[in-house]
Chains A and B, each alone.
Chain A
């Protein structure tokens, strides 16, 4: 979610639902592995974080190469712009809503929702 720019939503999930789910998981594990639940959960989370970071790193290396291949393969002169993902999810942010002139033709609903989410993020 952070990689997609949903920073505020990710923070909310992390501090509320995720924290509650984590507490529940630790509580259940405590019954199976008394005294080691917290450590087990932490190991699991560390492993997952490493996996995600490696996947992002791989994507960062591969995406420009793939984009280059696509550009070479396309007969059109049109340039394809593919941006590599941010090196770390926390560094990325939702793209700001594009200001629309009030005389412009009908905006798409998805763009309007983007505007709303942009406002919510700035409020946070």
Chain B
């Protein structure tokens, strides 16, 4: 697992996106004759964008972007930042971390800084519709059971950027995305939308959702504010205790986790090479990583069994065969095995926990794009643009959720 931006081969030619410095430029008031549908997974650490024209099944844009905005610091010499841009996004911001003030727009899955979130969404729009003239209809993934305030925040931030939106819980979208539409109806295929339990482990939240052929109720969903970021924090706290003055940034700790994360019995010794004060050191991090990651299992397992208990007796046997782990957390080694072993140990009938697979970062966005293509005209929420009344141009944030990077 890396932090790299993944660009999947596109099915149709994709014009170059405008330079990031153009984000504050007003859009041309032109007749919106074209509709672009967007499936957007607005993740705490990584976001995924899929877009395509309405009426087509082609995916014109497919990107995984680190959810971070970098505001270039004052006094940077011309030419250091490509195009002398003032604002950078995602991978570009991470690469220029020395020269930018990096800000994460989300914390624990919800918007922490509206101005930064707006800047990020403008970039998403620019990627989805480089012409800037299309009507954008976006299905946006939200944490399970996100409150009305969190949803209103997203709506407000999207005003004037997207034209219509629909907000749908992420684990449900993951089930839609994971569904192989061509196999639905085949006798040997268990449709995940008909009977499954999805565990979507992201950066800010771990979301579990019972999906049984109807839209899940609030009781069918659980969102736990413990996920990748919380593991990073636990690791850093223990590293600071074990190796004081280690100088490792949160970003570096995350990279270590993404390379070595595991659950289950200790995999000690697990030597990790780090550079401290310019010198290479080998740190033994087997227990540090194992303890932090096993905490995740302790947090999500009770929610898992609670949701299993909600399934009817005639559906639970099939459900137990269809527990799917997705999101960045699905890359933690042994997670499927450990959850399955715990279920067996607790007497559950032949449970099977599986990992969503290599597209783990994209299933929510795939489901969102499917939903955008299937949504009826009257199901969209129309966003009126009255930002010009209530807000000025975007600028560097005043109260940022700072990333401990750089």
Chain A residues near B (Cβ < 8 Å): 1, 4-6, 9, 13, 17-18, 20-21, 23-24, 97, 99-110, 112-119
Interface contact B215-A102, CB-CB below 8 Å:
no
**Nearest Cβ distance between residue B155 and chain A, in whole angstroms?**
8
Instruction: Please tell me which one of the listed residues B214, B218, B371, B374 contacts residue A99 in the complex, with CB atoms under 8 A apart.
Output: B214
Interface residue range, chain B: 35 or more
Beyond the given A4-B378, A100-B213, A109-B374, could you list 16 further A-B residue pairs with CB under 8 A, ordered by the A residue number? A17-B386, A20-B389, A21-B386, A23-B389, A97-B215, A100-B214, A102-B213, A106-B184, A106-B191, A107-B193, A107-B213, A109-B176, A110-B374, A112-B172, A114-B376, A115-B215
A-B contact pairs, 13 of them (CB 8 A): A5-B378, A9-B382, A17-B159, A18-B384, A102-B194, A102-B213, A103-B315, A105-B194, A106-B185, A112-B214, A113-B376, A114-B215, A119-B217
Interface contact B194-A106, CB-CB below 8 Å:
yes
Residues of B within 8 A of A24 (CB): 386, 388-389
Q: Interface SS of chain B: helix, strand, loop or mixed?
A: loop
Judge if B323 is at the interface, Cβ distance under 8 Å. no
Residues of A within 8 A of B384 (CB): 13, 17-18, 21
Interface residues as binary, B358-383 with A (CB distance below 8 Å gives 1, 0 otherwise): 00000000000011001110110111
Interface residues as binary, B41-62 with A (CB distance below 8 Å gives 1, 0 otherwise): 0000000000000000000000
Residues of B within 8 A of A13 (CB): 382, 384
Residues of A within 8 A of B184 (CB): 106
A107 to B388, CA, bound (A): 41
A20 to B379, CA, bound (A): 23
Q: Please, which residue of chain B has its CB at the minimum distance from the CB of A106?
A: B184
**Nearest Cβ distance between residue A9 and chain B, in whole angstroms?**
6
A23 to B370, CA, bound (A): 38
Interface contact A102-B212, CB-CB below 8 Å:
yes
Residues of B within 8 A of A6 (CB): 378
Among B172-209, those with CB < 8 Å from A are 172, 176, 184-185, 191, 193-195
Interface contact A113-B390, CB-CB below 8 Å:
no
Interface contact B386-A102, CB-CB below 8 Å:
no
A76 to B346, CA, bound (A): 60
Among B140-185, those with CB < 8 Å from A are 159, 166, 168, 172, 176, 184-185
Contacts A20-B386, A105-B185 known; A110 to B195 CB distance under 8 Å?
no
Q: Please, which residue of chain B has its CB at the minimum distance from the CB of A25?
A: B389
